[in-house]
Amino acid sequence: MPSIFDLFRKISNTEQRGRIEYILAGLGNPGDKYANTRHNCGFIAIDRIAELHGARICYSKFDALTCEAEFSGKRVLMMKPMTYMNLSGNAVGKAASFYKIPPEHVIVLSDDINLAPGRMRIRKSGSPGGHNGLESIIEMLDSEAFPRIRIGIGQKPEGYDLKDWVLGKLSPEDVEKIEKIAVCCDEAVGMIIEGRADEAMGKFNGMSF
């Protein structure tokens, strides 16, 4: 049983770290079956970002795997919803409600079939654009006003079913591109938190790997 001194030390350490002010969510589907699929590029990117911060997203909370990191002096909850893509908003909504995070402080990483592999696009708000994970988050937050970074997976080839395309495996070359994009995402997240989203958009939206 912890002593009263242990409890005070724990409270003190929490206060020193500061409270959670932002959420960074990478979208995907849980399980080995979906590892390195196109729809899971949000998972790939956020794992790489966590690695850059010396962290690992492995703590189960809010129906997600989570960890905490610091971006631009702010404490950020990084999360990978374990609810499957179509219900991503359940996990993000629970975390946002618990920490009283406004939609403007929720940053989402997701795949985008309208962008070529090696491209990324930052938007400060907007419609889901046919993406079920973003649609779920919009529904649970009751707002479209959250920043998102969309990572290109390319349009489906003619004759392909869309579901088969997004759940298909990424090539090793495309995985490498996503991991390079993740380094840019890490910088972009810091800029968004600093109120420099327009600058981030100008810097990264035309970039290609």
Q: What token pair was written down for 169?
A: 């495996």
Q: What's the rounded Cα separation, in Å, for the pair 69 and 124? A: 22
Q: Are 67 and 78 in contact (CB under 8 A)?
A: yes
- Cα–Cα distance for residue pair 33/174, rounded to 1 Å: 18
Question: Could you confirm whether 39 is annotated as catalytic?
Answer: yes
- Which of 39, 53, 105, 131 does the annotation list as catalytic? 39
Of 49, 50, 58, 26, nearest in space to 39 by CA: 26
Cα(96)–Cα(106) distance, rounded to whole angstroms? 8
User: Both tokens of residue 140?
Assistant: 């649970």
By annotation, the residues acting in catalysis are 39
